[in-house]
Chains A and B, each alone.
Chain A
Amino acid sequence: MPNYHLSHLDQLEAEAIFILRETAAQFQNPGLLFSAGKDSIVMAWIARKAFHPARLPFPLVHIDTGHNFPETIEYRDAFAEQIGARLVIGSVQESIDQGRVVEEKGPDASRNRLQTTTLLDTIAAQQFDAVLGGGRRDEEKARAKERFFSHRDDFGQWDPKNQRPELWNLFNGRMHPGEHFRVFPLSNFTEMDIWMYMKREGIVLPSLYYAHERDTLVRNHTILAVSEFVQPREGEEVVRRMIRFRTMGDATITGAVESEADTMDKIIEEVAAARQTERGNRADDKRSETSMEDRKKEGYF
């Protein structure tokens, strides 16, 4: 009897392809959230495989805070072109200009929370009934209970106590008008799986992920890159450091780690030895112990 056996990465990929195809089949108008972060790159990469040799049957959607690193935007545009996908951009700056949201004030102001409004507005404007996200259950404890097909009410809110049970390969995407779903094809990937998968597939990431020299400062125990959006305040010292980023968020909140890892192999070694979770240096999660759960209830990614 031959050995019909799939490695864990093959199993995770097959599962993600299944979820992506279910999303295309069960919904009228899905969109795939693409931030040029590694998880959304992997998701879009697998989506390309799921519908090969046809193009993606849905657009890539980027919620642009206006505080992105320029490398992120360049990568986003090149990637969309490479896989021949349509790109939809929701702009937080526009939400601010239109008075939909008010920019946070104070020294630690961030546009992170404002993205939720822009995201929900984009969903409404584009009439998306399903939004694919690269969220993983190992990222944060509130995400451990997230479903593959996560139901959101009229207000885009997540009700953790009223989620649909998911059994076997059966996903229930039925909904009432005005509601929508968030779909997470990479739910069962861990951070390590993502890196191993990218290595296996030969995926090239935005340059920010690889160690490079940059002017930085330390704020709230986090290393931030000095940029248009992050300028030194009194008492903060600008230091040139060899750093890389483990997640891709706003320039204002995404903390860097000091690192010499300038290739995928070296990064994997570093991740394997890491003693801090990747979100451990995101200021947005540190605001309170349950901050992710609270933001998810409001309709965050």
Chain B
Amino acid sequence: MDLLRFTTAGSVDDGKSTLIGRLLYDSKSIFEDQLEAVEESSRRRGDEHVNLALLTDGLKAEREQGITIDVAYRYFATPKRKFIIADTPGHIQYTRNMVTGASTANLAIILVDARKGVIEQTKRHSFIANLLRIQHVVVAINKMDLVDYSEETYNQIVKEYQEFASRLDNIVDITPIPISALNGDNVVDKSDKMPWFQGPSLLYHLETVYVGGEENHVDARFPVQWVIRPQSDEWHDFRGFAGRVSGGVFKPGDEVVALPSGFKSTIKAIHSAEGNLEEAFAPQSVTITLKDEIDISRGDMIVKANNPPKVEQDLEAMICWFSNKPMGHRAKLLMRHTTREMQAIVTEVKYQVDINTLHKIEGVDGFAMNDIGRISLRTASPVIHDSYRRNRHTGSFILVDPGTNETVAAGMIV
């Protein structure tokens, strides 16, 4: 079976929780006792019908306030695929949650209220999906029941969205689908209320969309996580480098370089607990042994000799600031990138992006929570990287406040 990770973004009241509740309910991922609990809560709240949104509102505080305040992960499966949903709230103050949810997603569902059309939040969500390099976007035009299932309204919204989205260069395909999450139209089954719509139902699209293109299978990258030395009689001389392939394909006999040292060697074997492998590719977790005894430890990267990444201390990146403590001038932070951690200093703020208009704002020298913009960084030791556009794993990093240990920003190397 296949795995698809997707994220959902929408504004307050556009029916996102209802849509997720509907997907879980109609795919029979809701158990009787969960449904009973929700029916009971709905009754106590005085709701008219069973509120499917309650299935996904996890924390007490959220149920009291009726809003979703953090990224929650949901699971469902059909005979074709397993799905992981990163359910993120759409309020302006929760840009950071959307960025978090989008960082691991193959696809984004962006909800649009058919009565309101493309609004600022729609643009903001699309901008973030594009920034995080999500290749597939579904524009779910919801509440079609409230616009009499009008084809004209739908076409107008699709046109507006496509005009705007032509500027988003990382998104490979945009699939608009008219739905009613409340009534289930075009969610799991095709709706008979919109015979004019020729496309698939949302679930059919999720089950069949091609998502093989996310991993980079060209540039061989292996960040070392841990060195395995059994110290046993049977494995006396074994010295294996454990990690997860972050790009490309490794095979025994490949000529490799360890970075940042630059020492060369050849792959002796690729090990797994089930025996040796003929090749390893992203995102497999394996253990590599080399023919020569060279000094490699956590944080180093094994790459193929003919296709190295960049090794630099000066970087440019897009970041999203997560902390409620603003980023000040020349902030000193810790940077966590692949399996390395090092000190970093923000040498320059190039610009901020107004995520509602997508305009650049120049002349700023810091970021507040949820701000997105471009910076220059200098690090205390070399960063072995590719651009984020080329490789999500070797092009991404987080920044950590060395005083509080909080994760304060997410970054994508330009």
Q: In the bound complex, do residue A50 and residue B285 qualify as a contact, i.e. CB atoms below 8 Å apart? A: yes
Q: In the bound complex, do residue A170 and residue B397 qualify as a contact, i.e. CB atoms below 8 Å apart? A: yes
Residue on B nearest A52 in the bound complex, by CB:
B273
Tell me which residues across on chain A come within 8 A of B82, comparing CB atoms. Answer: 8, 190, 193
How many residues on the B side are at the interface (Cβ–Cβ under 8 A)? 76
Q: How far is the CA of A1 from the CA of B217 in the complex (A)?
A: 10
Q: In the bound complex, do residue B3 and residue A142 qualify as a contact, i.e. CB atoms below 8 Å apart? A: no
Q: Which of B82, B298, B339 has the most CB of A within 10 A?
A: B82
Residues of B214-267 at the interface with A, using a CB-CB cut-off of 8 Å, are 215, 217, 225-226, 228-232, 234-235, 238, 240, 242-244, 246, 249
Q: In the bound complex, do residue B398 and residue A277 qualify as a contact, i.e. CB atoms below 8 Å apart? A: no
Interface residues of A toward B: which range?
A: 35 or more
Residues of B267-313 at the interface with A, using a CB-CB cut-off of 8 Å, are 271-273, 281-285, 287, 298
Which stretch of A161-169, A226-234, A256-264 is in the interface?
A161-169
How far, in Å, is B369 (CB) from chain A's closest CB? 12
Task: Kindly identify which residue among B97, B281, B284 contacts A165, using a CB–CB cutoff of 8 Å.
Answer: B97
0/1 per residue, A30-42, Cβ < 8 Å to B? 0000000000000
Tell me which residues across on chain A come within 8 A of B104, comparing CB atoms. Answer: 167-168
Q: How far is the CA of A274 from the CA of B33 in the complex (A)?
A: 11
0/1 per residue, A165-188, Cβ < 8 Å to B? 111111010111000000000011
The answer, yes or no, to whether A266 is at the interface (CB within 8 Å) is no
Q: In the bound complex, do residue A187 and residue B285 qualify as a contact, i.e. CB atoms below 8 Å apart? A: no
The answer, yes or no, to whether A155 is at the interface (CB within 8 Å) is no
Q: In the bound complex, do residue B393 and residue A137 qualify as a contact, i.e. CB atoms below 8 Å apart? A: no
The answer, yes or no, to whether B198 is at the interface (CB within 8 Å) is no
Give me 10 other A-B pairs in contact (C-beta within 8 A), A163-B70, A174-B405 excluded: A1-B217, A8-B81, A18-B244, A25-B339, A144-B72, A164-B407, A169-B393, A170-B336, A276-B33, A280-B31
Instruction: Identify the A interface with B (CB < 8 A).
Output: 1, 3-15, 17-18, 21-22, 24-25, 48-55, 137-138, 141-142, 144-145, 160-161, 163-170, 172, 174-176, 187-188, 190, 192-193, 274-277, 280, 289-290, 293
* 14 A-B pairs in the complex with CB atoms less than 8 angstroms apart: A15-B283, A48-B273, A51-B228, A53-B238, A161-B70, A168-B393, A169-B246, A170-B336, A170-B397, A190-B75, A190-B77, A275-B32, A276-B33, A293-B59
